[in-house]
Every structure is written in C-alpha cells, then in structure tokens.
Amino acid sequence: MNIALIAHDKKKDDLIEFVDLHKDVFGYHTLFATGTTGTRVMEKTGLNVHRFQSGPLGGDQEIGARIARGEMDFVFFFRDPLTAQPHEPDVTALVRLCDVYSVPLATNLGTARVLIDGIIEEQSE
Ligand SMILES: O=C(CO)COP(=O)(O)O
C-alpha cells in the first residue's frame, strides 16, 4: 500500500521516531513524503522514501494530487497546531482531500498509534 508521511518542523522528531519504532511495518509498504520529512525519515530509518517538494514549495499539493487519483492509502500528517504556516491553504487542502476520498489520516501521535494497528491488521488479511 502507499503511505504518505508529512510533518511540520516542530513535529518532525515525533513522526521520525514513530516511523523508526514501526520500521518493520512501514518497510513493507511504499512510502511517500514531503521533501524535508522524507530526507529525515530516510536518514534515521534507512527506509526508501519517494520524496516530493518540500511542503511550503508545493509538496502538500503533490501528495494531494496522488490522493485525488486514488493512489494514497494512508496519510500520517503531524501538523503543528501552535505555529502559523505560510502554506496553510495547502495544509487545509490536503486534509480536505483525505476527507473527500475517505483516506485514513493521522494528524498526531495518538491517532497514528491507532492507525498503525489498523495497517498491521490489513497486512495480515
Ligand atoms: O510543510 C510541510 C507540510 O505542510 C512539510 O514539508 P517538509 O517535509 O518539506 O518540511
């Protein structure tokens, strides 16, 4: 399955630790990410990640386009709720597309833990 990984700067450590912790699960799937998030995930975990542009430079929209084409199965998007983002419209658009296409989306560690359990279950079906 195709999984998108995205994190704002203050949430990157959380997401990277999470992916590293579940490396065996994520390694079983095709991973996509916005630019900086993808680079950091690869550095930490050694997993292969298809990287798009950095979020503020259009990466969120590139992942959104994949969602609109039915090419993304799960999205982990750790947003920073306490910092204004210059590309806030892109962030909103990506979250909206997940809702339009009913793509499971985790925006924080709590939901991510539940979602990864769901992915493991689907894997074993
Ligand atoms: O800004 C982002 C998502 O909105 C993330 O982009 P980067 O992974 O390039 O930092």
Please write the tens of the pLDDT for every residue from 50-60.
999 999 999 99
60 catalytic? Reply is yes
Q: Could you report the per-residue pLDDT of 95-118, keeping only the tens digit for each? A: 999 999 999 999 999 999 999 999
As beta bridge partners, residue 7 has 78
Query: 39 C-alpha vs ligand 1 centroid, how far in Å?
Result: 11
Residue 19, amino acid? V
Q: Whose CA is nearest to atom 1 of ligand 1?
A: 55
Distance CA 113, CA 76 (A): 10
Listed by start position, the domains of the chain span: 34-73+84-125
Confirm or reject: Cβ of 35 under 6 Å from ligand 1: yes
34-73+84-125 CATH: 3.40.50.1380
* pLDDT at residue 33, as a whole number: 98
